[in-house]
Structure 1
């Protein structure tokens, strides 16, 4: 492919000597390609001249002609210098590189050259041997993001008519292209600002690529197990881990070819190893190709081991070894170095510190884990991080008699994460339910969009820390200043089913796997005593269910015929959506008749059912019966009524989420993100060279003086969460920025004395409001810092004197202008809308009604953009004081639509501008008609957001 010719991280150009733009490290990225392999994308360097010449010489005559419109056997020294010496501003180029025996090899190039204020000519060239892997589309996305950072708005490409593949890359990217032909050359032009279509295309390509890369791991039919070697202590963790995996593979599917290097061979019949297991002296002796490698070597030997695996065509590495990021900064750097090596060689990495992975087929079972007794085949896909949690999870699975489709332990999840597995499970026909145990969430924004897509078709059950992502040793996660409820909002927006621990996860998952979703929240109860009825009813109410009118008490000595009559009547009731059976005999033990009758009724009617029957737990034959289609249906059994009804309540809640309108992403009219970016660029100085932080940030904790945002009063900007290069905007610049997205701020005139106040009021028009700018009194009408409805000069002069005296008592600087005069807004309720850029979560929007009550009681709601119209409505209505906006106690209903419009515009601005570190609209007065912003403050700082719509892996 050749041709002439996701909104990326918003990074102001770094500058070096003599004002030249420095090398933009933030443009580097590891990406997954269409075939599931990986490569590294980075800006071109002057030192790439030889590699670029080798790339050019290796191209076919046709590819060279498509790129340069002329046959060029070699690039001249002048051309080479021009192509590699770019300024990363008006001329930029990206290369995709692969690691080889001779170092990095360039496999694709993309470049732009600015030809006007907003336009740039682009050209692409992909190595013949690597065409069809999606390199062109990846480079186009990343080059467009880089160009947008530099102010380019349109790409222009000149393409030969026969180069249909290149034209197809432009068209399939989701941009609206315009093309015309002149003198035998097709000129293609398109705007590169993201559109809903282009973002959808990027997300879909990311989904397919990451799913394919995970599928390659889980369907491996040839595995190499690499241990520490003959000289290693057989009692060491690495040696024992390698031996355990080898033992599992040796006892597993003989259709999986197993190669062994550096591990003692297991004994087979007559002391011979199984036929599908073969030992080799070194990796060089192993015949290629090999799909998957399991590595258990010392942390310092791991990079060399991965490089030695590359010639075998290995697609993924499961690293059981520890000694990486969990040991501290030096271990973190080892982990990052290993990851760079792995991705450069086109592989995915599971680990370090992984328990391994288990897959139950379709080609046959694959147990590449430390589990000696893997569970049977089933419909539940499980993901966890630490190896000990995998042990706990498998034990709980066996206890319930469950089957699984896959289990993956990511360890430190340096690469493969829960997001990757969710991408795979979205297409996996063998998985009906997904369960995730998350000790940390490294990329909440990507988690939200991936989980939301998956949850729309399959239930996703998640265990996550209650007070935000828990960060265990070894997990490179950015610190967060966001309030605890931010994680709750992330999970709510994603549509996942949140539970508290592994046992709840599997209790809920087994219900999803074996029973249909309930049509509503109404539940019928069948119990063995009035006391159990009351207990079950209380549990149902606590779980969000409504007990329908049908409840039945079945005596312990009921005959089989009485059991059938009662059960049939219960399932015949049209006013119930689900059934809970709670029978705990005090004398006779298990009731086999009731279990049989309930299983048959549930299978026959399709009514979701849970059971709490003595002696039964999980998936049992006693509660299994054939459905109308002949397939067996099982009613899951629980040890207590509370666990049974909690699972049923979560199922009903998820079913409602599936059927509710989840809305559409907000796109208010009159939003000009380009203009907002220009305002930011004009007021934010260039970043000093090397000032940009790394992607991962510190391990776990934030700065010692960090204060959670929910502990800060609503009217305080959390400057502790803002970096040292922060630039507070003045009133005029803040109003200009907000005007770009259609939010008007009612002007306020700063004055120092009564004469200036009167003059301002005369210009504005009476009545006016008088306010102090002293922080302790700002917005505090109750303390005398705000005077409303001032109707004439006499009243204004008295108010000025009183407010100045009050300001002086709070040590206001008389040299400053401590007063503001502002036109009166219509009367209504005052609200506060804020946005803060969090290092982990990105933009966090908060809403609350103004006043001490909201501050003291923490009556603030949160949302994480991008938001839908339904999300915005929920943000407003979730505040406990929200009834004041809807006609509380005879007050008139206010214009909530206008308020939601303001919030939507702030959300779009915050999502588009990671430089907007803090924005506060206080107050926003909502009246019967309209919402008026009376005050606004904003703080800018250089972009530091890890998640973008671009396809990129963890660095």
Structure 2
């Protein structure tokens, strides 16, 4: 804000951002500073005459000192300018000058050498956000008709643009309020840019290994050997200032001395030397870094964290993305590149699984596990400390990667859950995503990972995965159990499963496992005698696969004594291929895909159509259940976010007013009437409540409310205790009310009636609880459960993360274990589930719109056949940290 004396507002550091450009490179955006005068002059002098004329409508070869002062000295309110910086150079400028209370004139200038990289669009996003922060709602701009790039930036942004042509100038005017279209445009650009940034890392033409030494079994030398052994198709160089050659290759003192362009640098030098390497790479024009070095955030020391921050800041400000530090490396098995820039001595076989791992130390074990099962990978990325490149970047890349048909994730933390949910949901609609997240018991964050603390229970994290369609598993073994199934078999078309094999005992174990997971058993298990011939097996298998009521098949076999095992396997593999039904097997105690169960070669290992085998029927069934549930999620309609008639402006005004009046830490509990007003803005009615402290007040209040009424204590320590009767229901007249008052005072004490509540009697129903929370990590979170001590103790709550579609809301309400209480248990009247879902949707919309609502609790809500009655609402307000994944594009 500008002070009364006219001085400038404080430098808005929150406007600084690292951004990914359209070609995958990066830049740093920040408000302009007075110290930028020289850089701005160089920027202007380097522009072509055409670019200068398009910006100033006149020849303007040099900026005067007066102009430089005016352009670099802004008040960050009425006059705002942002610059895009790569290295020490300004490559783009955008500014606005306020015209009136709500409108400002905006202008761009992009360096000639950086046009076409998407700088204009990302600068517009950030200047628009800055303008909204300062109360500006509309932008106006004038440009020449020949400046088609500028006009296209405005028109392609997704805003509703009005154009006017007068006196040889095109005038553009548009509202800055984000629209569904503008948000979609921004997300689409983000997707393309982040996917391109990963593509640059995985398809380098020239790799430099920095730190490869002549000593064997060192990190750099190992990576160099692995790159050579994999047959990397591009150029390969070694950087080592202390050697003339390494492994028969010339060694260069620095990256700057390497001939030609370098796309990717593999950094394996001591942590304290990494900064200098990054600067050399920046000067060389390297596009990306894979940092294998340790000694950064993973050691927990402040010095290591500082090095990690400096590494990312330096790299991004010079246009580079970083994998690591403490990374195990990256792998791309595409025959066009054959990149094994990792510590794995043998590159994975070519396949169609993309894999992401945060744990550098587990990289080799993970790749060994994949190889042991015969699983081929398309790409593998070990993010190490995840200082820059994260799982979200890989989700963007794999969405369009034709070489990847399924994705496996090993996660130790989720830095931006809102973005992860959005991207994973979009990817899972196309390709299976299987994830293992460690640290679930403690919700702990690995050392070196920068993640906000979370207050949500682990059940909420599970719900996040379900909402996004991610298949969650419990161990590395399960990760590959499910991964090999979704990578090789078609998805089940339903839950009907047939069992076929040569052992009654194994068949019964399989049937029990299926029933325990609530799968539908398609008839009794079909068994042949243990010594049956391959022809008898074939007849039984054909009988099972030919049935129309079978979606999936579990084939279970004991090692036969007389019939060759490979003949039986061939029978199963052939039937699975011909009928196209999802098939898993327990075969000869083998985990993975036995040779005899592999399908026809299709360029992937194992080939699509191979039949995975598991040592036990239970493991086979568990993998099949995971695939079936994922397939059901794919088939289910996504639903839409309800368009509710709400007064968002009125709610915002109320919240801001109460927060402004708060003191101390800013956390304030709304009074009952204010809570009711806030909820009414979103169409939620809270039953009128009167607080009384004498029997006379109670009788007078009951007369106003109308009988019958309910009397209950408001003392927190006495409420909702199963051993105390703190509520008196259905009081029909004043005599009944006076008696109830006396009973409460006698049983609970004088304090119970000095702080009492009176409400009109609501329709009898099932108590339910709806809660909303602003979590520092996950953002808005909504939960639902049936009321009562049993549900509370058993943790019978469902969770979702707004915005919620109609399908999300239905899954929440119908996903509690106590659902029968809502649907007519033991002959009771079913409640109006549509009304319950409407209430949850409205609470979710409120929470999504108002981050300042730190906590909201509706308890109890009585759900009946006639709708819902909210009897009590508690709302806490506080100023939250900025939500992740909100606002213009930026890297974390």
Q: Considering the TM-score relative to the shorter chain, is it more than 0.5? A: yes
1:730 matches 2:671: yes
Confirm or deny: 8 A CA contact 1:780 1:786 kept in the other structure: no
Residues 813-832 of structure 1: matches in 2 within 5 Å? 818-832=755-769
Task: Work out which of the residue numbers 404, 413, 418 in structure 1 matches 2:386.
Answer: 413
**Post-superposition offset of 1:342:** 0.7
Residues 277-676 of structure 1: matches in 2 within 5 Å? 277-328=249-300, 329-465=302-438, 466-467=440-441, 469-549=443-523, 551-585=525-559, 587=561, 591-614=565-588, 616-626=590-600, 633-668=609-644, 670-676=645-651
Quickly say closer, same or farther: Cα 1:210–1:776, change in 2 above 3 A: same
**Post-superposition offset of 1:936:** 2.1
**Post-superposition offset of 1:733:** 3.3
Confirm or deny: 8 A CA contact 1:865 1:908 kept in the other structure: yes
Quickly say closer, same or farther: Cα 1:375–1:174, change in 2 above 3 A: same
1:201 matches 2:182: no
Which residue in the other structure is 1:745 paired with? 686
**Post-superposition offset of 1:366:** 0.6
**Post-superposition offset of 1:791:** 4.4
SS of corresponding position for 2:370: helix
Which residue in the other structure is 2:875 paired with? 938
1:773 matches 2:749: no
Quickly say closer, same or farther: Cα 1:596–1:574, change in 2 above 3 A: same
**Post-superposition offset of 1:906:** 1.6
SS of corresponding position for 1:565: helix
Partners of 2:714 and 2:162 in 1: CA distance: 53
SS of corresponding position for 2:327: coil
Partners of 1:938 and 1:397 in 2: CA distance: 50
| Per-residue deviation, residues 175-231 of structure 1 (Å, max 9, x unmatched) | 23333444444443333333332222222211111111111111112101111779x
Confirm or deny: 8 A CA contact 2:207 2:265 kept in the other structure: yes
Partners of 1:215 and 1:506 in 2: CA distance: 25
SS of corresponding position for 2:142: strand
**Post-superposition offset of 1:653:** 1.4
Which residue in the other structure is 1:247 paired with? 225
Task: Work out which of the residue numbers 151, 156, 159 in structure 1 matches 2:140.
Answer: 156
1:41 matches 2:29: yes
Partners of 2:603 and 2:115 in 1: CA distance: 47
Confirm or deny: 8 A CA contact 1:288 1:313 kept in the other structure: no
Partners of 1:290 and 1:522 in 2: CA distance: 55
Partners of 1:66 and 1:758 in 2: CA distance: 78
Confirm or deny: 8 A CA contact 1:206 1:951 kept in the other structure: no
**Post-superposition offset of 1:492:** 0.2
Which residue in the other structure is 1:677 paired with? 652
Quickly say closer, same or farther: Cα 1:776–1:927, change in 2 above 3 A: same
SS of corresponding position for 1:387: coil
Residues 172-211 of structure 1: matches in 2 within 5 Å? 172-211=156-195
**Post-superposition offset of 1:360:** 0.8
Task: Work out which of the residue numbers 201, 205, 218 in structure 2 matches 1:221.
Answer: 205
Query: Which consecutive unaligned segments of at least 5 residues does structure 1 have?
Result: 1-12, 689-722
Partners of 2:101 and 2:733 in 1: CA distance: 52
Confirm or deny: 8 A CA contact 2:212 2:219 kept in the other structure: no
Partners of 1:680 and 1:15 in 2: CA distance: 26
Confirm or deny: 8 A CA contact 2:244 2:251 kept in the other structure: no
Which residue in the other structure is 1:701 paired with? none
Partners of 2:603 and 2:390 in 1: CA distance: 38
- Which segment is superposed worse, 344-353 or 559-568? 559-568
**Post-superposition offset of 1:444:** 1.3
Which residue in the other structure is 1:169 paired with? 153
Confirm or deny: 8 A CA contact 2:662 2:668 kept in the other structure: no
Number of matched pairs = 888
Quickly say closer, same or farther: Cα 1:282–1:626, change in 2 above 3 A: closer
| Per-residue deviation, residues 711-732 of structure 1 (Å, max 9, x unmatched) | xxxxxxxxxxxx9432333334
Quickly say closer, same or farther: Cα 1:72–1:548, change in 2 above 3 A: same
1:57 matches 2:31: no
Quickly say closer, same or farther: Cα 1:552–1:935, change in 2 above 3 A: closer
**Post-superposition offset of 1:115:** 4.0
**Post-superposition offset of 1:781:** 10
Quickly say closer, same or farther: Cα 1:929–1:267, change in 2 above 3 A: same
**Post-superposition offset of 1:261:** 0.9
Task: Work out which of the residue numbers 95, 108, 115 in structure 2 matches 1:131.
Answer: 115
**Post-superposition offset of 1:461:** 0.9
SS of corresponding position for 2:198: helix
**Could you state the TM-score of these two structures normalised by the residue count of structure 2?**
0.92
- Which segment is superposed worse, 802-811 or 395-404? 802-811
CA RMSD of aligned residues (A): 3.2
Which residue in the other structure is 2:234 paired with? 256
- Which segment is superposed worse, 597-606 or 620-629? 620-629
Confirm or deny: 8 A CA contact 1:383 1:409 kept in the other structure: yes
Which residue in the other structure is 2:800 paired with? 863
Partners of 2:442 and 2:160 in 1: CA distance: 40
Query: Which consecutive unaligned segments of at least 5 residues does structure 2 have?
Result: none
SS of corresponding position for 1:634: coil
Which residue in the other structure is 2:13 paired with? 25
Quickly say closer, same or farther: Cα 1:728–1:124, change in 2 above 3 A: farther
- Which segment is superposed worse, 369-378 or 151-160? 151-160
Confirm or deny: 8 A CA contact 1:203 1:949 kept in the other structure: no
**Post-superposition offset of 1:440:** 1.5
Confirm or deny: 8 A CA contact 1:32 1:951 kept in the other structure: no
Partners of 1:946 and 1:322 in 2: CA distance: 31
Which residue in the other structure is 1:843 paired with? 780
SS of corresponding position for 1:853: helix
Quickly say closer, same or farther: Cα 1:805–1:81, change in 2 above 3 A: farther
Partners of 1:806 and 1:123 in 2: CA distance: 74
SS of corresponding position for 1:249: helix
- Which segment is superposed worse, 455-464 or 245-254? 245-254
SS of corresponding position for 1:938: strand
SS of corresponding position for 1:549: coil
| Per-residue deviation, residues 479-525 of structure 1 (Å, max 9, x unmatched) | 11111101110000110111111221112211222221121122222
Residues 67-106 of structure 1: matches in 2 within 5 Å? 67-99=55-87, 104-106=88-90
**Post-superposition offset of 1:404:** 1.1
Partners of 1:485 and 1:594 in 2: CA distance: 43
Partners of 2:117 and 2:485 in 1: CA distance: 40
SS of corresponding position for 1:111: strand
| Per-residue deviation, residues 501-554 of structure 1 (Å, max 9, x unmatched) | 122111221122222112112222221211111112123334443221263223
**Post-superposition offset of 1:767:** 4.1
Confirm or deny: 8 A CA contact 1:318 1:356 kept in the other structure: yes
Quickly say closer, same or farther: Cα 1:159–1:522, change in 2 above 3 A: same
SS of corresponding position for 1:198: helix
Partners of 1:808 and 1:447 in 2: CA distance: 52
Quickly say closer, same or farther: Cα 1:853–1:635, change in 2 above 3 A: closer
Confirm or deny: 8 A CA contact 1:46 1:81 kept in the other structure: yes
**Post-superposition offset of 1:596:** 1.5
Confirm or deny: 8 A CA contact 2:504 2:527 kept in the other structure: yes
